[in-house]
Amino acid sequence: MGRFVIRRLLQSGVVLLGVTLVVFLLLQLVPGDPVRVALGTRFDPQTYEALRARAGLDRPLVVQYLSYVGNALTGDLGVSFRSGRPVTSIVLERLPATLSLAVTAVVFATLVAFPLGVLSALRSGSPLDHAARVFSQFGVSVPDFWMGIMFILLFAGVLGWLPPSGYVALTDDPLGWASHVVLPAVTVGLVTASILTRFIRSAVLEVLSEDYVRTAEAKGLRTRVVVLRHVLRNALIPVVTVVAVQLASLLGGVIVIEVLFAWPGVGRLTYDAVQARDYPVLQGAVLLVAALFLLINLLVDVLYARLDPRITVR
């Protein structure tokens, strides 16, 4: 297991290196001068040249990239064109907001999708199954920004139960955080739950058709025992993959939802960086998202071996 983890970490390093190269090259193709945009009305030739020199933009592209990679290895992702602050600090400041939203949304989605998907599979063809399939199709089809707007109009505008937007840190005020996270988490969670419901239903139906499940039923085991001991454990493996992918996607930042609810997460940071052409911040946010994806994939591979002894990691 140790050698497997070390090998995957080395492979992840190569992938991150490729991500930095692709992002760096793509940013060179974007028209416009980020330094000129950052200066705005304060533009003057001396300040412009000084800022370009400080950012290293007056050097050849190869030197710029190698310098960026070398600094990134030490945790230095550069300095924001817009605020002049270290990118590492900016990105890490936004991560807790995205982390709290993503985890809350995935927990909500799992609590909704798991029982709904399992019951839908166990009662295939029943009214409950049809209702679950309609819910799943509805969640996938409806745009999340429209759903978020409807929730704001209903729960904030008409009923006045919840704040329409904003963010309060969990450590500062847990109750305030809970009231602000409900609407964005439910909006994202319903979309995620609709995806999970389909996968859980399909996974359970596939396991129910296996010979060992029919053998267990033929032995006279109660349905509850068969489902808990044989069906759910084996159906969890593909479900874990989907949950992990959804969590990684949310940790990368749900840009539309974070902008809609004024949630100061990584997605909102990425959006603001694109608007301001703050390339160092954009590169740092993309690098963080890539690292989170790779880390979660590694954890899922290790978890596979725990869930199913037949799976070995080498």
Confidence at residue 39, expressed as pLDDT on a 0 to 100 scale: 66
How far apart are alpha carbons 290 and 304 in whole angstroms? 21
Q: Which of 95-109, 149-163, 241-255 has the lowest mean pLDDT?
A: 241-255
Q: Does the pLDDT at position 30 exceed 80?
A: no
Question: CB–CB of 71/77 below 8 Å?
Answer: yes
Q: Is the pLDDT of residue 224 over 70?
A: yes
pLDDT of residue 121: 83
* Helix ranges (DSSP H) in the chain: 2-29, 34-39, 45-55, 61-73, 87-122, 127-141, 144-151, 174-208, 211-218, 223-226, 232-251, 255-260, 266-276, 279-307
Q: Which residue has the higher pLDDT, 226 or 178?
A: 178
Confidence at residue 12, expressed as pLDDT on a 0 to 100 scale: 80
Check whether 258 has a pLDDT greater than 70: yes
- 224, 232 contact by CB (below 8 A): no
Q: What is the pLDDT of residue 32?
A: 67
Q: How confident is the model at residue 307 (pLDDT cuts 50, 70, 90)?
A: low
pLDDT above 70 (res 312):
no
CA torsion angle for 107, 145, 253, 5 (degrees, to 10)? 50
Cβ-contact 104, 185 below 8 angstroms? yes
| pLDDT score of 74 more than 80 | yes
Quote the pLDDT of residue 59.
Answer: 77
State mean pLDDT over 98-114. Answer: 89
**Over the stretch 200-217, which tens digit does the pLDDT of each residue have?**
888 888 877 777 777 776
Whether the per-residue pLDDT at 270 is higher than 80: the answer is yes
Q: How far apart are CA 185 and CA 99, in angstroms?
A: 11
pTM reported for the whole predicted model: 0.80
Where helices occur in 142-278 by DSSP H, the ranges are 144-151, 174-208, 211-218, 223-226, 232-251, 255-260, 266-276
Q: Which of the pair, 122 or 107, is modelled with greater confidence? A: 107
Question: Which pLDDT band, with edges at 50, 70 and 90, does 310 fall under?
Answer: low
> In this model, does residue 271 exceed pLDDT 80?
yes
Q: Mean pLDDT over residues 230-238, rounded?
A: 74
For the ranges 55-69, 175-189, 212-226, 278-292, the lowest mean pLDDT is seen at: 212-226
Neighbours of 6 (CB within 10 A): 10
Q: Is the pLDDT of residue 120 over 80?
A: yes
| pLDDT value of position 169 | 83
Nearest C-alpha neighbor of 262 from the set 165, 175, 180:
165
CA distance 99 to 181: 11
Three-state DSSP state, 65 = helix
Is the per-residue pLDDT at 158 higher than 80?
yes
- The residues facing 86 across adjacent strands are 79
Q: Which of 300, 132, 124, 139 has its CA nearest to residue 204?
A: 124
Give residues with Cβ within 8 angstroms of 239, minimum separation 6: 196, 199, 200, 203
- Average pLDDT across the chain, whole number: 81
d(CA 111, CA 200): 12
List pLDDT tens digits, range 172-199.
888 888 888 899 999 988 888 888 888 8
Q: Which domains does the chain have, with CATH numbers?
A: 88-307 (1.10.3720.10)
Task: Give the 3-state secondary structure of residue 79.
Answer: strand
Q: Do 116 and 290 form a contact (C-beta atoms < 8 A)?
A: no
